Structure 1
Amino acid sequence: MKWVWHAVAILTLITVSCSDNDNPMLPNDPLKEYIRSHLPLQKGTMAYKLAEDLSLHLPALDPDQNPVVVKTDYFTITTNDIIATAVKDEGYRANRLRNYSPRQLRDKLLIIANNLTDKKLLLRAAIESGMQLEQNQLDSLLTIRYERYGGEQKYRKFLADRGIDFDYVKQQIHVGLLIREHLREIYRERVKITEEDLQKAYQEDRLATVRHILLSTEGKSEAEKQQIYRKMQEILKRARSGEDFAELARKYSEDPGSRDAGGLYKDFPRGRMVKPFEDMAFSVPVGEISDIFETQYGYHILKVIERKKETRPFEQVRDRLEQQLRRVKQEEVYQAYLQELKDQAHLEVREIPLPGEQKEKPGEVSSE
């Protein structure tokens, strides 16, 4: 699995330059409406029909019931919002959801809900901070896309052929730009790299090779997570009793990126993996197996195969070390900042029950 952290996903938008003060500013009022409003499903539309069909397998998705999945002080997100977002983001490809099992469907929709929640919280924070963009910033990114597809009309046709609305894409580019610029301000305030940090990083192990096992918990209920944890406890017991770790990974790991290789990740540097994974990879003694630890992907165990230190002179690798440290600290700041926003918003998340599961009583929610 390639561990991609959220802040990097936002910051990979191409940097664009600001021009003179005569350039008109993009209004934020439509984005404020985007945050607080719902995406209605109109009867007769593709999105409504999709929700109807999916509700045959997952009754909570009945578009006429439209239960709340996410509640904050600033907005709520309903099942209709989630389906509508899937259709707006993926166009006709959203019809692939019909091929999912109820559990796969529930997990996918909760991921969409979580991503939409994070986006709206970050967007609201950006607007509240007074962040505003110039028209040419949006135009510059659109121009790059037009050039990539051979012109504006070809790009519009590319989207239309896939059932994706151009105005929605334009809005989402605006959203992404605003969030990116806001996060840059947050990073400037909170991410500091000192000479002491660099010297410490230079002395530490630089690369790690591990085998690991993942049991996914994405979109799972608390009861399901408990069952998964108990399963991981049994796997850990077998690994520590001497069973071949690589074979256990091939048999049980749910990480498609490493399972067939016996869970192997070779010579990865600091800053490449999510923090809990990195912490274990660079702290567990070589040859030993970690305790169970959790990331946003699920429960893990890993065995450290090898670690290597830097052999080049400090000045030769100083810039690279600073870049790596900055990525790590940005991810830490991003996660902490997002949690602050969730706490301030009093975020609450409802389960989407599978068929046959106990349904929550009205108004019963679980805090994230």
Structure 2
Amino acid sequence: MLGLVLITSACSNEQAVARVNGETISRDDLYNFMVKQNGEQALDVLITNSIINQEAKKQNISVSQADIDKELKKVKDSFGTEEAFNQALKQTGFSLQDLREDAAINIKVKKLLEPKVPITEEEMKKYFEENKAMFATEEQVKARHILVETKEKADEVKKKLAAGEDFAELAKKYSIDINNKDQGGDLGFFGKGQMVEPFDKVAFSLAPGKISDPVKTEFGYHIIKVEQKKPAKQANYEESKSEIKDMLFAKKMQPVYNTWMEEKRAEYKIENFLTKKQTDTKS
């Protein structure tokens, strides 16, 4: 029975992952290549994460789904739209689960180090006063567009929209703007002056839900649909406190984290069979 298990295991390890003109590339070939490329770096990340998880467990630090969702929302918001966020995930090869796991580790690190990184009210107020412009928001518009080469094509698309056809689907079909056509022409939020002048003028004059007539620019003819507007807003300290605290923490945390991690690596028994290194606890 043991012999059968060993034979099965050996066959599994040599399972083909590709063939080139009948020549097999096995899982072992792939594994060995990946280890040579970045195996030590990847293993170091896993060791670091293990230390963080164990330290969090020792200190009864837990991470809720709400904590993770909050962190992911910040990431998504930085891309402007859900479509842009999903496109970035696709391009990088990361999954949503990968991001959730990274967010959980980052939250644990923050909770572990917060007592070591004090941030005073005075520091926060000083940072706010020195960076007020950062916390003010200008008027913004969230819009989609369909860009075509000719006025005739723009008129054709406009008629389809007037007949009730879906804007996003028409953008995917007709728009020549390769940067956003697959996202239904979604441009996310933008402020005044970020788009060429004719486009900018029309976008900020339209009410949410309205669709423009064709707008000519140097790029062609645009049909614009405004979906949402955000009014300009002055900087407010009380509303920005949480964001300011996060910024100051991120700024001050890195050297504290480096020292803390060095200390923990010295405390833990780490057996690295990839590079045949081993450290023993100093307790």
Which bin holds the TM-score, normalised by the shorter protein? 0.3 to 0.5
TM-score with structure 1 length normalisation? 0.29
Pick 1 or 2: higher relative contact order, CA cutoff 8 A, min separation 6.
1
Larger Rg: 2
